Amino acid sequence: MRATLLIAFFPLIMAQASPIGSGTVQDLGTLGGSGAVAYRISDAGQVVGWSPNVFGLTQGFLYGSNGLLDLSNALNGAESYAYGVNSSGTATGSYYVNGQAHGVIWNGSGYTDLGANTYGAAINDTGQVAGGDGQAFLYSGGALHQLGYLPGGNWSAAYAVNDSGAVAGYGTEGPGQFRGFVWYGGALVPLGTLGGSSSYAFDLNNSGQVAGAASTSSGYLHAFLDSSGRMVDLGTLGGSMSYAYGLNDSGYVVGYSSLANGSDHAFLYANGQLIDLNALLPSDSGWQLLQAYGINDNNQIVGTGLFDGQQHAFEFDLPGSPGSQTPESSTSVLLLCGASLLALLHFFRRRRSALPR
């Protein structure tokens, strides 16, 4: 595959039913080929991701009021991936010229090329872009600002930026050693671990909370939520590993986890509970939600799953979010109520090859 999807892992958490309520899931479709991944969703409801077209070339897309828009149309059909979008509908990602990656910012009037051997990973509502070119950077005010390395390291990458311009990502601390970091305008500040040697930060909210994955003392990677330097192990859905990819300002976390049988399921972590999203689907929905990657402040979740056996991008709307009041016929989500329920409720091609699987 052109885009490598990283698998996530956590300890099984059982809980009483949460009052979060029911929601809906909708199919975002594909660009004509087989498969699609929805990676991020803005607070205005625009979704970005990637999907093969009818010719088998992977193309970045923007999903909004006009449906699924192929962003590669602005790039003469070049292969591309969209990784971030803000509330103005401006997106960022990467496209490929003769096999070489170029970071890109798409807007309604065209696109901005960030240069060869770069990628854009995230964009905030002020238009700042976090990314990397072997070193984490913040693109702001029309200029690319290098953020440096962790002590002892020689490589870093940024994957998230909040509206204050704070950045999160991960980098090397030495040969084969990786550590998540945050950046607030000075040196990179390393995050902790869950008892192991490594951590990886994938998202950052406006309160400074960080979501990602970190190794435990047993060597397995577990999803975490870090608040003010306190890293919480979110556990798994019965398997050995999990990853957290998305985080909103309420502290809700999404990602995916291995099950006891080794397969993957999308999850939501909310109100102290780890929730298998598939447990909220009616048996006849036709969906199996595999990975969740993004969540916005309206509690809309995006990711990828199987719909009638075919890989499609999905949007899962929790109650109170736009669209949750108009469920589609075969994809209405019913929240299971009662005691003792199983709780409620690439990457970048070439970029994540350093991550353990």
- CA atoms within a 13 Å half-sphere pointing along the CA-CB vector of 253: 33
DSSP state of 134: S
State the CATH number of the domain containing residue 158. 2.130.10.150
Q: What is the pTM of this model?
A: 0.84
pLDDT digits (tens, 9 = 90+) for 242-259: 999 999 999 999 999 999
Contact call for residues 87 and 44 (beta carbons, < 8 A): yes
Least confident piece of the model among 30-34, 171-175, 350-354: 350-354
- Per the prediction, the chain carries an average pLDDT of 85
Question: How many domains is the chain partitioned into structurally?
Answer: 1
User: What average pLDDT score do residues 225-241 get?
Assistant: 97
- DSSP calls for 60-125: EEEEETTEEEEGGGGGTT--EEEEEE-TTS-EEEEEEETTEEEEEEEETTEEEEEEET-EEEEE-T
Residue 345: inside a domain: no
- In terms of residues, how long is the chain? 357
Residue 8: inside a domain: no
| Strands ordered across the beta sheet of 273-276 | 242-247, 253-258, 264-270, 273-276
Residue 274: inside a domain: yes
| Strands ordered across the beta sheet of 37-41 | 37-41, 47-52, 58-64, 67-70
Which domain, by its residues, includes 179? 23-333
Q: How confident is the model at residue 285 (pLDDT cuts 50, 70, 90)?
A: confident
Residue 210: inside a domain: yes
Residue 204: inside a domain: yes
User: What average pLDDT score do residues 179-208 get?
Assistant: 97
Predicted pLDDT at 17: 37
Residue 293: inside a domain: yes
pLDDT over threshold 90, residue 18: no
Residue 354: inside a domain: no
Residue 102: inside a domain: yes
User: What average pLDDT score do residues 309-324 get?
Assistant: 82
